[in-house]
Amino acid sequence: MNKAKIVIAGAGYGGMNAAVTLSKKLGANDASITLVNKHDYHYQTTWLHEPAAGSMEPDRARVKISSLLNTNRVNFVEDEVVEVKKEDKKIILKNGELDYDYLVVALGATAETFGIPGVHEHAFTKWTLDGARQVKEHIELKFADYNNVLDRTEGVLTFVVAGAGFTGIEFIGELSERAPELCKRYDVPREAVRMYVVEAAPSALPGFDPELVEYGMNLLESRGVEFKINTPIKEVTASGVIVGEGEEINADTIVWATGVRGNPVIEKSGFEANRGRVKVEPDLRAPGHDDVFIIGDCALIINEEANRPYPPTAQIATQMAKTTAKNIESLLKGSSNLEAFKFNNQGTVASLGGKEAIGVVGSRKIYGGTASFMKKMIDNKALLTVGGPMLALKKGKFPL
Amino acid sequence: MNKAKIVIAGAGYGGMNAAVTLSKKLGANDASITLVNKHDYHYQTTWLHEPAAGSMEPDRARVKISSLLNTNRVNFVEDEVVEVKKEDKKIILKNGELDYDYLVVALGATAETFGIPGVHEHAFTKWTLDGARQVKEHIELKFADYNNVLDRTEGVLTFVVAGAGFTGIEFIGELSERAPELCKRYDVPREAVRMYVVEAAPSALPGFDPELVEYGMNLLESRGVEFKINTPIKEVTASGVIVGEGEEINADTIVWATGVRGNPVIEKSGFEANRGRVKVEPDLRAPGHDDVFIIGDCALIINEEANRPYPPTAQIATQMAKTTAKNIESLLKGSSNLEAFKFNNQGTVASLGGKEAIGVVGSRKIYGGTASFMKKMIDNKALLTVGGPMLALKKGKFPL
């Protein structure tokens, strides 16, 4: 008897949770499960603003995949996915290939540059663990540079965050909270540090409650953050960014956080996609490919109430993983009656660094300590879901 | 009655010890003592290879000048010395000036580039606390870069130390000892790190005992250090160094340690000098200037036995400070019978990182744990001399 082969590509929130859930749902005789990922670790993408700003050790934001999996039930392959050969039912890896009967594509996202010149050359765009380490060390180098450079008008300690969405706001929240400590450590006067957030849209955190946005901006401004809202970035150069009508901000550090697009593997593999995201069927399968599920940042699902796509978040990726696992279980049982995905919004909280945050849970707006508490609970819940109580205990955030 | 005004320029080993000794020798009615220094802290120049390589917190290598001085007896001015106006008996500061009756010039050294092009633009040359911080953060950034760069042949983790003298050897000793830990922290394979020491002279540690030099080189090579001896550097470029007959080593990190020259203020002030160092009289005064003592790295004294100048070290600077204090005391008492400086060599130990070192104490060669122990004792002694037992206890190195 040939067991069905399930391959899960990517071990982010979507893929990791799909692997863990499937390994619990399915017996050893039902199917073989293979998880393939570029690194041997899973990391908390939603935490990366902390190691990037240096307020958390990068190692704390990751966990060995082998420690999350029942390795008797799930094969783990450390390799990079290059392409999905849909017609051949296999995926090409950098160092090999894998056949599948059912494939879960959970390959995450990459930075969206909107074609603005110079972004890849001069800005930090990688919101990965390796990318976060690089931002952290770059920031500390810039503080160390300060007392050694002759011309400080060239932006040695000017930090520009492109984009006032979640990632940008959470990152500047951490950095602005940590700046005084960095100034002390490197003998830098506080006023030497300039922090800008540049956003093309008419508001920070577009779509978020305006009252909370104002609370957040006021708080960040009190820490020295300067907002340039309604201000598109024209170009990123070796010396800074050109914004609005040609104004130049000299800056040695530009962090790119204007949003994401789906993994390039999607387009390379010939899936019909919009900014690298596939508009999936209600059951999360790729249109026309009944053996391929696409979840997380590579999947596009319309929020019917708002008539626009749900933003790609850890929360929605985790929920998609559960639905996918359920649907694969049904398929293995011979059922074609798959469940339609339904997003259950459990609230959204943006941390602002330190003990500050803003958020909406249900219909309630929260901010300050309450929101910060809630944010930490959400972070712990993600650990609990993927790794159980031992992981939450080991890596979790003490909420008070 | 006009009290004599003593001004000490620079708070390194020479200036700091001169200030402390004079404040103990002289009564409040004998003279006013003013110490001027660019920073409000004294730092252990001989320790800087440790913070530069990241094996010591930079803060541990410095101490507030106010905590070392009897501030009732010594005025401290935080400012940068721009020029000595010998004829007017005053020194010009960036933000003011100071009159003196007796001046002690102890302004330390700056990197010697031997006119090699590109050094100041592309290499780390500042062996100061700020410079060490910069090297440390740069190294960590390069490790963080590794997993983010596409072309690793460009030397992202290639480290070139120019010069195999004390500074170069002690720095590469720390870095090679720390490299495995950095590899682990940043997920970098050990073989990705290349470390070169390039030396124009026919041997590493020129003048040091050949048997000890061999011990040291073997040890460093066992940690992956590659020596290029008898190999002059022709040019430093944005992508690395060009050595010997035109060979290029691609490297993102070049640490310049080919030796030092006296502070540029010496030449700017019109003292006759050789590479910024004044050949002082036996009593340590500048020729033709009976009110100016020059000590430490700005002073040149011939070792009659070897028929060449003593190398500038912390040890000799500290001893010069004692002689200078004694001679100023004599001058204040109206005596013209000043003491001639005599160097009392208490031994030389080069640390090689970890628990390894090589050295000569008296006529005895030491290496390994014994030498490492001795090195730590020497470091503690420097603290004891300038700051007494409390400082040694606070900042000292546990020798076992």
DSSP A242-255: EETTTEEEE-SEEE
pLDDT of residue A370: 86
At A291, which amino acid appears? D
pLDDT of residue A399: 59
pTM of the full structure: 0.86
| For range B256-280, the mean pLDDT | 97
Backbone Cα Rg of chain B: 22
DSSP codes joined into one string, A100-167: -SEEEE---EEE--TT-TTHHHHSB---SHHHHHHHHHHHHHHHHHHTT-S-GGG-TTEEEEE--SHH
A177-195 pLDDT tens trace: 999 999 999 999 999 999 9
Question: Residues for chain A: how many in total?
Answer: 400
Instruction: Decide yes or no: CATH 3.90.1210.10 for domain A119-256.
Output: no
Window from A162-171, B106-115, B381-390 with minimum mean pLDDT: B381-390
pLDDT of residue B381: 82
Contacts with A143 from chain B: Cβ below 8 Å: 137
| For range A222-228, the mean pLDDT | 97
SS3 A328: helix
| For range B144-168, the mean pLDDT | 93
- The yes-or-no verdict on residue B277 having pLDDT over 90 is yes
Among the partner-chain residues B130, B144, B185, the one whose CB lies closest to the CB of A147 is B130
Q: How far apart are CA A277 and CA A310, in angstroms?
A: 12
Nearest residue on chain A to B128, alpha-carbon basis: A148
Q: How confident is the model at residue A60 (pLDDT cuts 50, 70, 90)?
A: very high
The DSSP element (H or E) to which A93 belongs, if any, is strand A90-93
DSSP state of A345: -
- The yes-or-no verdict on residue B268 having pLDDT over 60 is yes
Among the partner-chain residues A39, A144, A185, the one whose CB lies closest to the CB of B134 is A144
B337-368 pLDDT tens trace: 999 999 998 889 999 999 999 999 888 899 89
Contact predicate A320/A312, CB 8 Å: no
Among the partner-chain residues A130, A138, A141, the one whose CB lies closest to the CB of B147 is A130
Contacts with B144 from chain A: Cβ below 8 Å: 130, 133-134, 136-138
A132-151 pLDDT tens trace: 999 999 999 999 999 999 88
Q: How confident is the model at residue B28 (pLDDT cuts 50, 70, 90)?
A: confident
Distance of CA A303 to the CA centre of its chain: 20
The upper half-sphere exposure of residue A369, i.e. CA atoms within 13 Å in the direction of its Cβ, equals: 1
| For range B216-226, the mean pLDDT | 97
| For range A17-40, the mean pLDDT | 95
Strand B289-294 with B102-105, pairing? parallel
SS3 B267: helix
Do domains B4-111+260-344 and B119-256 share one topology? The answer is yes
- The yes-or-no verdict on residue A288 having pLDDT over 90 is yes
Q: How far apart are CA A161 and CA A139, in angstroms?
A: 13
Q: How far apart are CA B78 and CA B93, in angstroms?
A: 10
- Tell me which residues of chain A, numbers 76 to 135, contact chain B at a CB-CB cutoff of 8 Å: 126, 130-131, 133-134
| For range B372-377, the mean pLDDT | 85
Give the domain ranges of chain B: 4-111+260-344, 119-256
Q: Do A148 and B138 touch (CB under 8 A)?
A: no
- The yes-or-no verdict on residue B162 having pLDDT over 70 is yes
Window from A137-146, A382-391, B30-39, B121-130 with minimum mean pLDDT: A382-391
DSSP state of B311: P
Report the percentage of chain B scoring pLDDT > 90: 83
Mean pLDDT, chain A, integer: 94
A148-182 pLDDT tens trace: 998 878 899 999 999 999 999 999 999 999 999 99
Nearest residue on chain B to A39, alpha-carbon basis: B187
Q: How confident is the model at residue B322 (pLDDT cuts 50, 70, 90)?
A: very high
Q: How far apart are CA A142 and CA A208, in angstroms?
A: 33
| For range A95-123, the mean pLDDT | 97
Q: How confident is the model at residue A385 (pLDDT cuts 50, 70, 90)?
A: confident
pLDDT of residue B399: 58
Who's near A222: CB < 8 A, 6+ residues apart? none
Q: How far apart are CA A41 and CA A66, in angstroms?
A: 8
Contact predicate A60/A48, CB 8 Å: no
| For range B134-145, the mean pLDDT | 97
pLDDT of residue B370: 86
pLDDT of residue B1: 54
Q: Measure Cα distances from A228 to A200, A207, A225 in Å.
A: 8, 18, 10
Tokens of B307: 């028929």
pLDDT of residue B384: 83
B245-254 pLDDT tens trace: 999 999 999 9
- The yes-or-no verdict on residue A400 having pLDDT over 80 is no
- The yes-or-no verdict on residue A1 having pLDDT over 90 is no
pLDDT of residue B150: 83
| Chain B closest-CA separation from residue A163 CA (Å) | 22
CATH for B4-111+260-344 is: 3.50.50.100
- The yes-or-no verdict on residue B380 having pLDDT over 90 is no
Who's near B222: CB < 8 A, 6+ residues apart? none
B170 a catalytic residue: yes
Contact predicate B51/B140, CB 8 Å: no
ipTM greater than cut 0.85: no
Q: How far apart are CA B76 and CA A62, in angstroms?
A: 49
At A238, which amino acid appears? A
Using a CB–CB cutoff of 8 Å, tell me whether B136 touches chain A: yes
The active-site residue out of A78, A87, A154, A170 is A170
Q: How far apart are CA B328 and CA B336, in angstroms?
A: 10
DSSP state of A3: P
The upper half-sphere exposure of residue A182, i.e. CA atoms within 13 Å in the direction of its Cβ, equals: 26
Q: Three-state SS across B136-202?
A: HHHHHHHHHHHCCCCCHHHCCCEEEEECCCHHHHHHHHHHHHHHHHHHHHCCCCHHHCEEEEECCCC
| Chain B closest-CA separation from residue A330 CA (Å) | 40
Tokens of B214: 């061999």
Contacts with A131 from chain B: Cβ below 8 Å: 148
At A97, which amino acid appears? E
Strand partners, B196: B160, B226
Q: How far apart are CA B11 and CA B22, in angstroms?
A: 13
- The yes-or-no verdict on residue A82 having pLDDT over 80 is yes
| Strands of the sheet with A233-237, listed across from one edge | A233-237, A240-243, A247-250
Among the partner-chain residues A59, A130, A140, the one whose CB lies closest to the CB of B137 is A140
